[in-house]
Structure 1
Amino acid sequence: MADKMKCMLCGHVYEQEKGDKGVAPGTAWDDVPSDWVCPICGARKSSFVSV
């Protein structure tokens, strides 16, 4: 899986090396919890695509 994933709804980018709200830096996308949502628009993890 890619190191960066982009929300198709708002454009927010999840970066593995930086982590995100509620996700520790270095967390691979596959290891991000399935109930995690975009911190900007609330989209589900399934709304993200690799960039």
Structure 2
Amino acid sequence: MDRYVCTICGHVYDPEKGEPKLDLPPGKAFEDLPDDWQCPVCFAAKNVFVKE
């Protein structure tokens, strides 16, 4: 699965690790996150993330 990086703050969403801060378990692809998902660091919208 691909990793995605926030273009605002540089936070990386790694589906292999999940997102512990948001209670997202490992194995959840970025594409499967809800459209209203936000960066857990800077709260930017999902659409500002780009594939790493």
- Greater strand share, structure number: 1
- Same fold per TM (> 0.5)? yes
| Runs of 4+, deviation exceeding 4 Å | none
* TM-score in terms of structure 1 length: 0.88
Q: What do you get for the CA RMSD once the two structures are aligned?
A: 1.1
- Greater helix share, structure number: 2
Q: Sequence identity of aligned pairs in percent?
A: 48
Structure 2, unpaired ranges of 5+: none
* TM-score in terms of structure 2 length: 0.86
Aligned pairs, number: 50
